[in-house]
């Protein structure tokens, strides 16, 4: 019996296991240079401090919020706070009596506007709104008046679809300045001889303070555009 050995078969994958040729010296030099260059930023990062960059810009202004302060010299003398607020875009006033002007914000009025004086909600004192809520406050007795147009928050009660009027004081901040300081204000309107004045005085020793605020206003009848005398005399005292 003759044993014929099986013919040798070449694997189709044998070419994949062929040894790679030795890298050329030039290729090794280029690879080493690239690796060294990439390692430089990491080596010097801990020792290099970049200078600080400061970016300054004006604060964004909310078009739905406006404020006025009694010390603003651009404000014209007015009969009450509502007259001053009428200088704000989107705010109007409607005269209800000799000293009362009803506020209108974007066409909404009355109970559609919330009014807060020093943290307390104020309502009108007459069904015909001869004494609107804003007539109980004067600029001499407050440090700022903020107008929120529309509904920005429910913090100040229900309603207020037209907006919210907030008259606020900063007594604690003012009391940090020791001594006696304050302000006096007086204005006069020739039509009807409406005069109003007030004083705001604060005394502080750094640990305790006393603040006194008072205002008074007197008005006579006034004459309308047709020369007709309108009965609108009044007296008002606050403090």
pLDDT of residue 80: 66
Strands 229-230 and 179-189: unpaired
- The answer to whether residue 66 scores a pLDDT higher than 70 is yes
Side by side, the strands of the sheet bearing 120-121 are: 65-68, 144-149, 163-168, 113-117, 120-121
Instruction: Quote the CA–CA distance of 143 and 120 in Å, as a whole number.
Output: 16
Q: Tell me: the pLDDT tens digits for 127-138?
A: 777 777 877 777
Residue from 81, 43, 50 nearest 166 by CA:
81
Cβ atoms of residues 148 and 163 within 8 Å: yes
Q: Tell me: the pLDDT tens digits for 110-122?
A: 888 888 888 888 8
Instruction: Give the C-alpha distances (Å, rounded to integers) separating 167 from 143, 176, 190.
Output: 8, 21, 28
User: What average pLDDT score do residues 198-221 get?
Assistant: 85
Q: Is residue 177 part of a domain?
A: yes
Q: Is residue 198 part of a domain?
A: yes
Other C-beta atoms closer than 10 Å to the C-beta of 133 total 25
Cβ atoms of residues 109 and 100 within 8 Å: no
Cβ atoms of residues 134 and 117 within 8 Å: no
Q: Is residue 47 part of a domain?
A: no
Q: Tell me: the pLDDT tens digits for 169-193?
A: 888 888 888 889 888 877 776 665 6
pLDDT of residue 2: 47
**Which CATH number is 205's domain given?**
2.170.130.10
- The answer to whether residue 3 scores a pLDDT higher than 60 is no
Q: Is residue 226 part of a domain?
A: yes
Give residue 183's domain range.
66-238
Total domain count, the chain? 1
Q: Is residue 17 part of a domain?
A: no
Q: Is residue 225 part of a domain?
A: yes
pLDDT of residue 135: 77
């Amino acid at each position: 019996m003759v044993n014929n050995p099986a013919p040798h078969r070449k694997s189709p994958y044998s070419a994949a296991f062929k040894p790679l040729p030795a890298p050329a010296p030039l290729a090794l030099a280029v690879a080493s240079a690239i690796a060294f260059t990439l390692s430089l930023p990491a080596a010097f990062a801990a020792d290099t401090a970049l200078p600080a960059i400061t970016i300054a810009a004006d604060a964004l202004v909310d078009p739905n919020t406006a404020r006025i302060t009694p010390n603003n010299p651009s404000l014209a003398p007015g009969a009450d706070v509502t007259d001053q607020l009428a200088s704000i875009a989107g705010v109007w006033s409607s005269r209800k009596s000799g000293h009362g002007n009803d506020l209108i914000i974007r066409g909404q009025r009355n109970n559609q506007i919330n009014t807060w004086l020093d943290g307390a909600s104020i309502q009108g004192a007459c069904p015909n709104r001869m004494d609107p809520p804003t007539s109980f406050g004067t600029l001499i007795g407050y440090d700022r008046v903020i107008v929120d147009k529309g509904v920005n928050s429910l913090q100040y009660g229900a309603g207020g679809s037209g907006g919210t009027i907030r008259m606020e004081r900063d007594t604690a901040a003012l009391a940090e300045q020791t001594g006696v300081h304050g302000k006096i204000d007086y204005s006069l309107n020739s039509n009807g001889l409406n005069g109003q004045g007030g004083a705001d005085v604060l005394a502080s020793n750094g640990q305790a303070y006393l603040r006194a605020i008072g205002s008074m206003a007197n008005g006579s009848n006034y004459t309308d555009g047709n020369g007709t005398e309108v009965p609108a005399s009044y007296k008002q005292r606050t403090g």
